[in-house]
A and B are shown apart, each in its own frame.
Chain A
Amino acid sequence: MSTQTSSAEGGFSIGGLIRRPETGSLIGFIVVYVFFASLGGAVFLGAPGWSSWLNIAAEVGIIALPVGLLMISGEFDMSVGSVVPASSMMAAVLSGHYGLPAVVGIAGGLGVGLLVGFINGLIVTRTTIPSLIATIGMMFAVMGMTLGLAVMVKGSTSVSYVPDAVTKALLGTFINGMFNVSIFWWLGFVVVFFFFLHLSPLGSWVFALGGDRDSARNAGIPTDKLTIGLFMTSGFCAAFVGIAQVMTYQAAQVAGGQSFIFNSIMCVVIGGVLLTGGAGSVIGIVLGTMTFAVVNQGIFFAALDPNIGSIIIGALLLAAVLSNDTFRALAMTYATKKK
C-alpha cells in the first residue's frame, strides 16, 4: 500500500518508473497492441480498429473499475453478471412494456443495481460469509428473479424497448457510426474513480481496508459503511452497463451478462490489482481493460482462430500475476537499498 502512494511524489526517474505498479500493465498493453497491429494491418490501426476494441473496453471497463476497487479492499463481486441483465430487463419492462418515460426505466434499472449492492454489502459486513460466496448466491437469486419477472410480465425471455431519440443519443448511439457513446461514459467513470481512489482521503481508506481490516477499523475508518458503499457502487456500474445495452440493442434478454464476471476480474488482475487486496490503481485497471479488449478484438482482425484469443488472455492473466509479484519484489528491494 505504501509503495504506490509514496512513489507518486518522487519525481521522474527510471527506478521510480519501474516501481510504479502500472508499469507491468503498460508493458503488457504495448506488447499486445504491437502484436495485433502487425497482424491486423491498416484496418486495425485505423478508426474502425480503435472503435472496435474501445467499444468492448468501455462496457467491461465501467464494471471493472468498481470490481477493482472492491478487490483492492479485499472483496469480490460475482453478482455483476446478473445485475447487467436484471437492470436492462427492469428498464425494458418499465419503459418498454408499460410505456413509462425513459427516466423511470433508467432509475428503476439503476435502483436494482444499488439494491443488489446494498444487500451484498449487508451480507458481507453482518455475517462471516466470504464475499465470493455471498455474491455468487446473490448472482443466482437475481438471475432467477429476472427470469421470473420477464415471464410473469411478458411471458417471454426477451422484452424489447425502442428508446426516444435523446435517451438513445445519450446512452446507446454510435458516434460517427462507430464509437459507442459508452466510451465517453467510461472516461467519465475513470475520472471519478481516479479522484476517489488516488486524490480523495477516502481512497486511502480503501487501501487500508484491503491491507488489514481490523487495523483499519481500529484507526477509526467506518469499514462497514465503506464496504457497503463499494458494493453499491459496483451494483450501480453494472446496472449502468445493462441500461446502456438495452438502449443500444433495443431489447433486454434474461440471459447474458455472465461473461462480465470473469472478464471484469481478468481486466482488474491484468491491471495489476493484488487479489488479496491492499494494492492496485485506477490507471492499472484501465490499462488491463484495454489489454483485454485489444486481445478480444484483435483476434478477429488478425484472422486467427478465436480460441487462440482465449489462450492469450489466459496466458496474460498468469503473466500479470507473476510480473506483479516481480515488480513488487523489485520495489521492496529498491526501497531498502535506497535507505
Chain B
Amino acid sequence: MTMKSRISRGLLATAAIAFSASTAFAADIFVIGGKPDDPFWSRVKKGAEDAGVVAQAQGGSVTWLGPQNYDNLGPDAAELIRQAIDQGADAIVGPDWVPEAMDPAFQAVVDAGIPLVIYNAGGIDAADRLGALNYVGAVDYKSGYAAGEYLGNAGHKNGACVNTLPGAANIEAFCSGFNAGVEATGGKGSVLQLPATSFGDATAVAQAVRAHLLQNPDIDALFAIGDADTNAAVSGIQQAGKTGQVHICGMNFNDSILANIQASTQDCAIDQQGYQQGFFAVSILNNFVNYGVTIPTREILTGPGVIDASNVELVIEGVKAGAR
C-alpha cells in the first residue's frame, strides 16, 4: 500500500514535470499576508484563493504565508519572503509593512528574477523603488477624500474629522484627505482632536462629538476614523439632538454599522476592500507568468469603496460569503 502510493506519487510527479515542461509555465504564486484568523486578512486570503482557482486550472498554485503573530512583524515577514524564494516561487505578492526590514528581502526577489507585486501597504512608491510590477491597495488619504467628497456632494459642506489618535500618520492622512474632499466640493473642513485620555472610550468620544456639535451648530458632516469611533459618534449626534441634520461617514464597518446604514443613522462607510487586494495581485502575477501580459496602469486602487444605502444589502451578502 505504502509502496504502491509512493510509486504512484513518483509517477505523478514525473508526469507533472513533463506536463509543465511541455506546456506554458504553471505559476506557483506565494502570497505573504497577515494572520489567516485576522478578520481583515481572512478576506484578503479569500480573494487570493479565489484568483488561485484560475491558477490551479492552469496547473499552478497559490500558497498563503502569514506570521504567527504581529510581535516582530518586519523581520518575520522578511523571513517569509525568503521562504517563498527558497520554495521555488514563480511569483510573489507581499505587503511592504516595514520597509527597513523588508526591502532587502524584496530586493532578493527581484534579483532572482521572480515577478513581484506589492500590495496592501507601501504604495506605488515602494513598488517603483523595488522594481515590482505593480502596487495593489488602498491609500489612506484617498479614503478620507472619498468620504469628504461623498458628504460634500450630498450638500453637507461643513465637515469635521473626529481624530481620536492625534499624531498617528495614517490617521492624519485620513483627516487631511477628508478635509480636502469636503473643500473640493466647495465646503470647509476642520479637525476635532480628542485628548489622549479618551482614546478607546466610546462614551468619551460620543460626549466630545456631542459637545463639539452643540458648540459649532454649523457643522453638518462628520468623518470617524474607525468602526468603534463611528458608532460612538453616531450616538453623539443623537444626544446632541441632531439626527438627520449632521451626516456621518466612517472608516471600516461591522454588523452594527451596516445596520446603521440601513436605518439611515449613518450615511456611508469607507472600505479598503481587502478581497480585491488578494484577488487582483494574484491575477496580475498569474497572467504575467503564464502569458506575459501586463497591466500598464500603475497603482491599482482597491479602495476606497463606498458603502451606503444603495449597496448595503449587497455588502451584507458579501459578509456572509466571507469576502467583505
Question: Residues of A at under 8 Å CB distance from B?
Answer: 40, 43, 48-49, 51-53, 55-56, 59, 151, 155-158, 160, 162, 174, 177-178, 180, 245, 248-251, 253, 255-260, 262-263, 296-297, 299-301, 303, 305-307, 309-310, 313
Q: List residues of B (179-225) whose CB comes within 8 Å of A's CBs.
A: 192-204, 206-208, 210-212, 214-215
A251 and B254 within 8 A (CB): yes
Chain B contacts of A260 at CB under 8 A?
201
B207 and A313 within 8 A (CB): no
B62 at the A/B interface (Cβ < 8 Å)? no
A157 and B39 within 8 A (CB): yes
Q: Complex: how many Å from CA A237 to CA B193? A: 30
Segment with Cβ contacts to A, from B5-13, B82-90, B232-240: B232-240
List 15 additional A-B contacts (Cβ < 8 Å) besides A177-B241, A178-B241, A307-B195: A43-B214, A155-B39, A158-B254, A158-B256, A162-B259, A249-B202, A249-B206, A251-B227, A251-B255, A251-B256, A255-B200, A260-B201, A296-B204, A303-B215, A306-B208
Q: Complex: how many Å from CA A61 to CA B79? A: 48
Q: List residues of B (150-194) whose CB comes within 8 Å of A's CBs.
A: 166, 192-194
From A156, A259, A305, B204 is in contact (CB under 8 Å) with A259
B37 at the A/B interface (Cβ < 8 Å)? yes
Chain B contacts of A249 at CB under 8 A?
202, 206, 231-232, 235
B211 and A301 within 8 A (CB): yes
Q: Complex: how many Å from CA A248 to CA B204? A: 13
A and B contact pairs by CB, cutoff 8 A, 18 listed:
A48-B214, A52-B211, A52-B214, A155-B37, A155-B39, A180-B203, A245-B202, A248-B235, A251-B228, A253-B228, A255-B200, A256-B201, A259-B198, A262-B197, A263-B197, A300-B211, A306-B195, A307-B195
B214 and A259 within 8 A (CB): no
Chain B contacts of A155 at CB under 8 A?
37, 39, 42
B208 and A300 within 8 A (CB): yes
- Of all chain A residues, the one with the shortest Cβ separation from B215 is A301
Among B196, B201, B212, B235, the most chain A Cβ lie within 10 Å of the Cβ of B201
From A151, A158, A174, A313, B228 is in contact (CB under 8 Å) with A158
- Of all chain A residues, the one with the shortest Cβ separation from B243 is A177
Chain A contacts of B235 at CB under 8 A?
248-249
A250 and B203 within 8 A (CB): no
Nearest-neighbour CB distance to chain A for B62, whole angstroms, equals 21
> What mask results when residues 47 to 77 of chain B are scored 1 for a CB within 8 Å of chain A, else 0?
0000000000000000000000000000000
Q: Complex: how many Å from CA A40 to CA B211? A: 10
Chain A contacts of B231 at CB under 8 A?
249-251
A contacts with B: majority SS: helix
A296 and B198 within 8 A (CB): yes
Q: Complex: how many Å from CA A49 to CA B203? A: 15
Chain A contacts of B210 at CB under 8 A?
48, 52
- Of all chain B residues, the one with the shortest Cβ separation from A310 is B195
A245 and B203 within 8 A (CB): yes
A296 and B202 within 8 A (CB): no
Total inter-chain residue pairs, C-beta < 8 Å? 120
> What mask results when residues 31 to 52 of chain B are scored 1 for a CB within 8 Å of chain A, else 0?
0000001010010000000000
Chain B contacts of A151 at CB under 8 A?
37, 39
A250 and B256 within 8 A (CB): yes
Nearest-neighbour CB distance to chain B for A55, whole angstroms, equals 6
- Of all chain B residues, the one with the shortest Cβ separation from A85 is B200
From B196, B211, B238, A310 is in contact (CB under 8 Å) with B196
B228 and A306 within 8 A (CB): no
Nearest-neighbour CB distance to chain B for A164, whole angstroms, equals 15
B211 and A297 within 8 A (CB): yes
Nearest-neighbour CB distance to chain B for A13, whole angstroms, equals 38
Known: A52-B211, A303-B215. A160 touches B193 (CB 8 A): no
A259 and B211 within 8 A (CB): no
Nearest-neighbour CB distance to chain B for A67, whole angstroms, equals 16
Among B195, B199, B212, B259, the most chain A Cβ lie within 10 Å of the Cβ of B195
Chain B contacts of A263 at CB under 8 A?
197
Chain A contacts of B254 at CB under 8 A?
156, 158, 160, 251
- Of all chain A residues, the one with the shortest Cβ separation from B255 is A160
Q: Complex: how many Å from CA A147 to CA B203? A: 21
Chain B contacts of A180 at CB under 8 A?
203
Chain A contacts of B199 at CB under 8 A?
258-259
Among A59, A251, A262, the most chain B Cβ lie within 10 Å of the Cβ of A251
Nearest-neighbour CB distance to chain B for A3, whole angstroms, equals 32
Q: Complex: how many Å from CA A258 to CA B259? A: 27
Among B37, B166, B215, B238, the most chain A Cβ lie within 10 Å of the Cβ of B215
B37 and A306 within 8 A (CB): no
Chain B contacts of A310 at CB under 8 A?
195-197
Chain B contacts of A296 at CB under 8 A?
195, 197-198, 204, 207
From A157, A257, A313, B201 is in contact (CB under 8 Å) with A257
Nearest-neighbour CB distance to chain A for B241, whole angstroms, equals 6
Nearest-neighbour CB distance to chain A for B253, whole angstroms, equals 10
B227 and A158 within 8 A (CB): yes
Q: Complex: how many Å from CA A313 to CA B166? A: 18
